[in-house]
Structure 1
Amino acid sequence: MRLQSISNSGSTTPHSGSEAESDSFSPNPVPDSPDYSSSLSDELLLRVFSTIPDAKQHISNSLVCKRWSLLCGKLIQSIRLLEWEFLESGRLSFRFPNLIDINIVPASINFERNSSILLSNKLFEVHLNPDVLESDGFFVRKDEILDSKTIVRGVRVLAEGCRNLRKIALMNVSEEGLSFLADECELLQEMELHYCGDMALRGISKFRNLQILKLIGRLNGVYDSVVSDIGMTMLAQGCRRLVKLELVGCEGSYDGIKAIGMCCQMLEELTICSHRMEVGWLSGLSYCGNLKTLRIESCKCIDENPGPDEYLGSCTMLEELHLRRCQMRGKEGVRALFLICRSIRKLVVEDCWGLDNSMFAAATVFRSIRSLSLEGCSLLTTDGLESIVLFWKDLDRLKVISCNNIKDSEITPELSTLFSVLKELKWRPDSKSLLSASLEGTGIGQKGGRSLRRK
C-alpha cells in the first residue's frame, strides 16, 4: 500500500538522483491510494487479522502504520525477549498488551548480538561473547548475568503492564521480584526459573495458581547456582497446587523429596534431570502419593546407596517410568528405583549406558507392564529381552530401536508368538534388521494376527 506519492508530497526536499531518474520514466505519477482500512473499526480489523493462520504475518502487518502496529500487537501472545531495554522502558507492555507467555532469559545476559557463537540446548539458548574460552569452566560468567536489582526493575514493569501472564521464564530473580510478580499476575500458572538459589524461593509461596514449575539450579557447563533441601522445602510449602515439577541440576536429599511429596499432594508428573542428590534420596519418592509419571534424565548415578528395601516404599499410583541418557551401572540404585515404581504400566528406556541383561532382569518386579520402549540399549541381548517380555502377561505394545545386540536371527518361536498378539510392534534393533519391513501386510503385530512360527 502506497500511503503517499513522492511527486505530490509537496515536500521542499530535493529529490535524490535515483528518485529523479525513477520519475523520468513514469510520465503519469501514481496518485495517492486511498486507505480503505481507515473506514473499518478497530474491532473489525482485529477480527480480520485474527483469521491469519501464520502468526509471523502479524509482524509484517505491524510495519504498515502505527494503527496496524498497535492492533497486531494485541494478537501476539508469546514472545522471547532479546533486548532488556525494550522491557525496562515500558515499550514491551505497550506494544504487546495481551501477552500470556514471555521468556526474558536471553535478555538477562549481556552478550554481543552479532556474535557467531550460539549455545543452544532444549533448556537454554544464548549468543556467547568471543572470550568464552577464557571463562572459569562455565560458558556464562556471573558478571555477564544481569544483577538481581536490575531484574527486579524489569519484572515490576512487566507485571504492571501484562497482568494476564500465564507463563514466564526468569533468570537470577530474587524473592522481591517473585513476590511482586505474584501480587500483580494472579493468573500465572507456569514458571521456569534459571540461576535461582534457595533464598529466592521464599517468594514463590504467593503464587496461588502455579501448576507447572521448572527449577534449574545448575546447567552443566553454562552456569551454576545452588538449590538444596532448603529451597525444595520452601517450594513444597508454597506451591501446594503443583501438578508438574521439573528439577534440573538441583542438590538435595531424602528430606527435600519427602517435603515435596507430602506438601504437593496434587503432583502428577515429576522430572529429575542431572541431579546432585545425596544418597538415599530415592526413598522420598514414596511420599508422592498421586504421582503418575516419573522421568529421570541425564543422571550420572541413580542412587549409590538407596538403603534397605523395607524403607523404600512404593508409588502406588505411578503409571509411567521414563529413563533417558542415564548411567545405569549401579545395580543397587536401578533395582531400588524399579522396586519403588513396581506398579507402572509403561516403561521407556532411551540411550541409557550400562543396561545389560543382569540390570534389565530387575524389571521382573513390574507385574502390570503393558507398554515397553527400548532405544539405544546396545548391551541388551535377545535372550535378556525375551526373558523379561515373556514374563509380562499383559504386554501389548513393544518398541525396540537401535539395540544392536538384539538380532532377528535369534528370535525364538515363543518371542514370535508374542509378536503376533501385540497391538503395536515397532521392531528396528539395528540397521540390518529386516523383520519390520517383512511384517508389513502380514497381520503380525496386530491383535489376532499371524505369528512367526518355526516349522
Structure 2
Amino acid sequence: MKGADLINTFLPDELLMEIFQRLEAKLDLDACALVCSKWRRNERASRRTIKIAASGAADRLLEHAVGRFTGLVNVFIDERLPSAYHNPVVSSRARRNSLSSPAELHNVTGNNSAEENEPERFCLSDAGLGSLAQGCKGLEKLSLIWCSAITSLGLINIAENCRTLKSLDLQGCYVGDQGLIAIGQSCKLLRDLNLRFCEGLTDTGLVGLAQHRGNSLVSLGIAACAWITDTSLQAVASHCHCLETLSLDSEFVKNEGIISVARGCGSLKTLKLQCMHISDEALEAVGSSCSSLEMLALYNFERFTDRSLSSIAKGCKKLRCLTLNDCHLLTDRSLEFVARGCTKLTHLEINGCQNIETSGLEYIGRLCPGLFELSLFYCPRIRNSAFMEVGRGCSLLQVLQLVDCLSINDDAISHIAQGCRNIRKLHIRRCYEIGSKGLISVGENCKLLTDLSIQFCERVGDEALIAIAEGCSLRRLNVSGCHQITGNGLSAVARCCPDLVYLDISVLKHIEDMVLAELSDECPKLKDIVLSHCLQITDVGLAHLVKGCSQLETCQMVYCPLVTASGVATIVSSCSKIKKVLIEEWKVSERTKRRVGSVLSFLCVDLL
C-alpha cells in the first residue's frame, strides 16, 4: 500500500536486530542503517565488533564509537592500522631501556612528564580506555595492539567496569604490574591473555594474576618480557591447572620454569617455545606429563637433541601438529620417533634443521597416513625417495610447501602428484631442479588444486602452466621469477581459470600487454595482481586490465619502466574497490595523490 510502512509495523525490533547480527559485510550493515531512523538505531545497537586505529585522534574516535554502538562486546584497537584522522604528530613507540627497572620507567598512575606525553597525546590514552570501560560494560574481548600510551591506570579502569572480559591482548603495551593484578582480581571470566612485548611487566604482575585467575585462564602468550622469569611460570603451574595453550619466547626462562608448567598444567594442548636456555630435561618433562598435547612448536633450539623428541613421541600420543624450526641437533632419529609414536600426525613443518635427511621423512610417509600438511623449508639433504614414501602413504595430503630443497627434482613432485591427488595448495620456491615434468604430472592428477606458487623455479615453462590450467581450476597463482613462462602459458590460465583472484607474474621478462587484456576478458573476479619488474607492460595494458577486472583491490607495479603516471591514474580511477597500489612515488601525479593518496604505497629506496 502506497505510503504504508508495513515492514516496520509488523517487524519487531528484536527480530530486526537478529537479522542485522547475521549480516557479516560492513557495507551491508551500512546500507541497512540508511533505510530509516529506526533501522539506523537498531543497526547501531546490534553491532558487536569494531576495529579502529590507536593513532590519530584515537580517544575521540573511540568515545564516538562507544556512544554510537551501545552493544559492543569485541573491540580491536591497533596502532598499526591507518588512522581515520590525519595528524602531523607521529605517535611515540620508542622502547624504554630494557635494563632499567619498570617501576622507574612507568609508575602505576601513569603521571609522566609533560615533555614525555607531548608526542603521545594523539595515541590512545588511559582517558580513551576509560570511555570504553564506561560505555561497554559488557565487553568480552579487548585487543590493544602497540598502544604504547596505555598504563596500569587504564587497565584498572577496564577491570573495575568490564567484569565479563574473557580475552585480553596487550601486545606491545607498556603496562605495569598493578593493572594486570587488577584484571586478575576483577575479571573472573578471563580465559585468554596475550602479553607479547609487554616490557613493563615483572613477575609480580603475572604471579598476582595467576593467583587470582588461575582457575579460569586457558591461553597465555608471553614474548620479550625481560622481567618475567621462572618465578612466573611456577606460579602459572601452581594456579592455572586448566591452561591449554602456552606460547613462550624468552631468553630468561630456564628448564625449571618449563618443567613446572609441564607438571602443573597437565591439560596443555598447544605449546610453542622459543627459549634458548632450555634443554632435553624440560622437553622430557613435557613428554612425561602432557599426554593431551596436540600441537608442539619448537623454535631456535640449540641445546636439545633427539632425546627430547623420543620423550615427546612416547608420552604425547595425541600430537597432531609439529613444527621444528632451526633445531640444529635433531637428526632423522627424531622424525622416526615421532612417526612411530604419533601416528595421528596431520601437520609437519621442518625449517632449517640441517641434520634431518631423507630417512626421517620416509618414516613419516610410511607411518602417518593422516598427514594433511607438509612444509619443508631449507632442507637441502632430503631427497626424492622421501617423497615416494609420502606419495605412497599419505593420500590425504592437501598442502605441500617446499622452499630451498635443493636435492629434489621432478621425480619428487611426480611421486606426490600420483599418490596425493587431494592436493589443494602447492607452494615451491627456489627448488632449482624442479621443472615442467613434475608440474605436468600435477596438472594431470591433482584436479582439486586451487593455489599454486612456483617462485623462481627457472626450469618450469609454458607446457607446465598449460597442463595445470587445463587440469585445475586455480584461484591463486604465483609464477614470479619463472623466466621460461611467456604469454602463452598465462593465456591458458586466463582461458581456463575464470575464478582466479590472485596473480603474481613479477620478474617475468616476456609478458606483454596482451596478457592483461586476456585477463580482463576471462578473469572478472581478479582482486590482487603483482606486475613488478615486468619490463614490457605499459599503460595500454593497464587500461585493458581495468575494463574487465572491476573487483581489483591491490596492484603492485614497481620497476615497470613503461608504466607512467597515466597508467597509475587509470588503475585508481577505474577500480572502485582499490585499496592499495604500490608504485614509485615519482610516477604519481599531484592530482592523483590528492584524490586517492590513502591507497598509494611508495617504494622507499634511500640513496646515501
Does TM-score exceed 0.5, indicating one fold? yes
* 3-state secondary structure, aligned to 2:129: helix
Deviation per CA, 1:269-303, whole angstroms, max 9, x where unpaired?
1112x42324333323322221121123xx4x432
Q: 1:98 to 1:135 in 2, by over 3 A?
A: closer
CA distance in 1, matches of 2:418, 2:375: 21
Q: In the alignment, residue 92 of structure 1 is paired with which amino acid?
A: A
Deviates further, 203-212 or 275-284: 275-284
Report the counterpart of residue 213 of structure 2 in structure 1. Answer: 239
| Aligned residue among 363, 387, 396 for 1:424 | 396
Query: 1:49-448, aligned counterparts within 5 Å?
Result: 49-50=20-21, 52-63=23-34, 66-82=37-53, 83-86=57-60, 90-106=63-79, 113-114=85-86, 129=90, 143=117, 144-145=119-120, 151-170=125-144, 171=147, 173-193=150-170, 194-205=173-184, 206-218=186-198, 225-240=199-214, 241-251=216-226, 252-272=228-248, 274-280=249-255, 281-286=257-262, 287-296=264-273, 299=274, 301-303=275-277, 314-323=288-297, 326-328=299-301, 330-332=302-304, 339=311, 343-344=315-316, 345-346=318-319, 348=321, 350=323, 352-355=325-328, 358=331, 361-362=333-334, 366=338, 368-370=341-343, 371=345, 373-377=348-352, 379-386=354-361, 389=364, 396-397=370-371, 399-403=373-377, 404-411=379-386, 416=388, 420-422=392-394, 424-425=396-397, 429=402, 430=405, 432-440=409-417
Instruction: Measure, in 2, the Cα distance between the counterparts of 1:239 and 1:174.
Output: 21
Deviation at 1:101, TM superposition (A): 0.3
> How far apart, in 2, do the equivalents of 1:438 and 1:333 lie?
31
Worse-matched range after superposition: 36-45 or 314-323? 36-45
Amino acid across the alignment from 1:57: D
The answer (yes or no) to whether the contact 1:80–1:103 under 8 Å persists in 2 is yes
1:4 matched residue in structure 2: none
- Partners of 2:241 and 2:411 lie apart in 1 by 48
Would the aligned equivalents of 2:295 and 2:319 in 1 still touch at CA under 8 Å? yes
Q: Secondary structure at the match of 1:267?
A: coil
Aligned mates of 1:92, 1:434 — CA distance in 2: 58
Residues 195 and 216 in structure 1, CA contact (< 8 A), matched pair in contact too: no
In 2: Cα distance, 1:313 partner to 1:376 partner: 22
Identify the residue that residue 122 of structure 1 maps to in structure 2.
none
Q: Which structure has the larger Rg over C-alpha atoms?
A: 1
SS at match of 1:346: coil
Higher helix share: 2
Check conservation: 1:294, 1:318, Cα contact below 8 A.
Answer: no
**In structure 2, distance between residues paired with 1:376 and 1:265:** 32
1:182 Cα deviation (Å)?
3.0
Paired AA for residue 183 in structure 2 = I
Deviation per residue, 1:363-399 (Å, 9 max, x gap) = 6665631215024446255335247648x95664274
Q: Deviations over 1:89-143 (max 9, x none)?
A: x432331011110023439x9979448xxxxxxxxxxx993999x99999xx975
Does structure 1 conserve the Cα–Cα contact (< 8 Å) formed by 2:140 and 2:166?
Answer: yes
Which residue identity is paired with 2:41?
Answer: L
Does structure 2 conserve the Cα–Cα contact (< 8 Å) formed by 1:75 and 1:98?
yes
| Native 8 Å contact 2:266 2:289 kept in 1 | yes
Post-superposition Cα deviations, 1:288-336, rounded to whole Å, max 9, x if no partner, equal 221121123xx4x432567699988843334234326x323x1338855
Letter in 2 for 1:271: S
Aligned residue pairs, count:
380
Residues 424-453 of structure 1: CA deviation (Å, up to 9, x unaligned): 34656448454444454658999xxxxxxx
CA RMSD in angstroms, aligned pairs only: 4.5
Q: Deviations over 1:43-83 (max 9, x none)?
A: 16546645645233212443566544322212221112334
The 1-side partners of 2:60 and 2:12 are apart by: 25
CA separation in 2, counterparts of 1:443 and 1:87? 52
1:194-213 deviations in Å (ceiling 9; x for gaps): 32233322212221011111
Q: Give the secondary structure class of the aligned counterpart of 2:65.
A: helix
Task: Please say if residues 288 and 311 of structure 2, whose CA atoms lie closer than 8 Å, have aligned partners that are also in contact.
Answer: yes
Answer with 200-209 or 435-444: which moved more.
Answer: 435-444
User: 2: distance between equivalents of 1:361 and 1:101?
Assistant: 46
| Higher RCO structure (Cα 8 Å, ≥6 apart) | 1
TM-score, normalization by structure 2: 0.52
Distance 1:161 1:242 in 2: 25
Distance 1:92 1:428 in 2: 43
